[in-house]
Amino acid sequence: MIDGKLRIDFTEDGLVHEVKKSRGGDRATKMQVLYYLWYLKYEKGIVTSGVIHYPKEKRTVPVVLTEQAERDVEEVIDGVAETKILESPPEIEKPMTICAKCSYQDLCWG
């Protein structure tokens, strides 16, 4: 746990490692690791890269915080900040595919 904000699975050889059971949510997982890298760079002054591990598939995916990735992370952070100040949650017409396995589905969709 870093600053009560990041729960990194482990670090080794100067890399941030994230372990996932399956590839579901690939984009979200990559953004998660990119956020870790962004936070470490701008809050701690640590520049590093990451690796996503899918042990069941015996596969790894390298993650690098490029300039474009930094802009993407900052865009997501800005979007979260905008959403937090709304008086009510944004309207969504129907559940998204990622909602199917979410523990909070009943809160959103009743």
pLDDT digits (tens, 9 = 90+) for 11-46: 999 999 999 988 777 888 999 999 999 999 999 999
Fill in the DSSP letter of residue 88.
S
In which band, very low, low, confident or very high, does the pLDDT at 110 lie, cut at 50, 70 and 90? low
Task: State the alpha helices, DSSP H only, in 45-93.
Answer: 67-84
Enter the pTM of the model: 0.83
Query: Among 5-14, 23-32, 79-88, whose mean pLDDT is lowest?
Result: 23-32
Distances (CA, A) of 44 to 3, 17, 41: 10, 17, 6
